C-alpha cells in the first residue's frame, strides 16, 4: 500500500523528512528518466544540481508543499506544488520506475487538486522529450497551452510545453 504524506517546504520538510532522502530519490529518478531522454552529460549535470539547498530548483521558495508517496518507508513518488493566485503550479512529480502505472502519480495529482480546490487551474511544465509524462498529464485532462524553452540549468535549455487542467 502506498501512503501519501504532505510537508511544507519552509520547515516541515527539514524537520519531518531529511532532504537527503528526497535528494536520493530524485537522483535515482532523474538518472532513470533523463539519461536516455537527454543524454548522459545533461543528466549528470542535472543530478549535480541537486546538491544545493533548493534541490536543483525543486524547492525554490518557501510557499511550496511537498507530497511524498511512501511504500514500506521508502519514497516511491514525489510532487511539489504551490498555490499562487488562481493557479496551482505543479512540478517535481516523479514516480520510481517500479511504481509507474500503479496509480501513484494519479493519486498525487488528485491530492494536489483537493488541496488547491479554490484555484481555477493546475499548471505543469513538461519537457517535450518526456513523452511518457506528456501522455500521463494528457490522460488526466491536462492540455498544452504554450510551448517554451525550459532552463534545466544555466546554459542548458530544452523544449517544453506548459500544460493546464481547468479545475473550476
Task: List domains and CATH numbers for the chain.
Answer: 3-166 (3.40.630.30)
Contacts of 74 (CB under 8 A, 6+ apart): none
Taking CA atoms, 73 is separated from 1, 3, 5, 70, 77, in Å, by 11, 9, 11, 6, 12
24: helix, strand or coil: helix
**What is the rounded distance in angstroms from the CA atom of residue 86 to the CA atom of residue 28?**
33
pLDDT digits (tens, 9 = 90+) for 139-161: 999 999 999 999 998 899 999 99
Question: Around 39, how many Cα atoms within 13 Å sit in the side-chain half-sphere?
Answer: 4
Read off the pLDDT of residues 96-113 as tens digits, 9 standing for 90 and up.
999 999 999 999 999 999
Looking at residue 12, what is its pLDDT?
Answer: 47
- Taking only the tens place, the pLDDT of each residue in 80-100 is 999 998 999 999 999 999 999
The CA distance from 20 to 86, in Å, is 32
Amino acid at each position: 500500500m502506498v501512503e501519501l504524506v504532505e510537508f511544507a517546504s519552509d520547515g516541515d520538510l527539514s524537520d519531518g523528512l531529511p532532504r537527503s532522502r528526497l535528494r536520493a530519490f530524485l537522483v535515482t529518478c532523474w538518472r532513470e528518466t533523463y539519461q536516455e531522454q537527454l543524454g548522459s552529460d545533461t543528466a549528470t549535470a542535472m543530478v549535480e544540481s541537486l546538491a544545493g539547498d533548493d534541490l536543483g530548483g525543486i524547492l525554490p521558495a518557501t510557499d511550496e508543499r511537498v507530497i511524498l508517496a511512501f511504500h514500506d518507508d521508502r519514497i516511491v513518488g514525489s510532487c511539489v506544488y504551490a498555490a499562487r493566485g488562481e493557479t496551482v503550479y505543479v512540478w517535481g512529480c516523479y514516480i520510481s520506475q517500479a511504481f509507474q502505472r500503479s496509480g501513484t502519480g494519479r493519486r498525487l495529482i488528485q491530492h494536489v487538486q483537493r488541496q488547491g480546490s479554490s484555484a481555477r487551474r493546475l499548471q505543469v511544465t513538461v519537457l517535450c522529450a518526456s513523452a511518457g509524462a506528456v501522455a500521463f498529464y494528457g490522460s488526466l485532462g491536462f492540455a498544452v497551452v504554450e510551448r517554451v524553452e525550459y532552463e534545466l540549468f544555466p546554459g542548458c535549455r530544452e523544449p517544453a510545453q506548459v500544460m493546464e487542467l481547468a479545475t473550476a
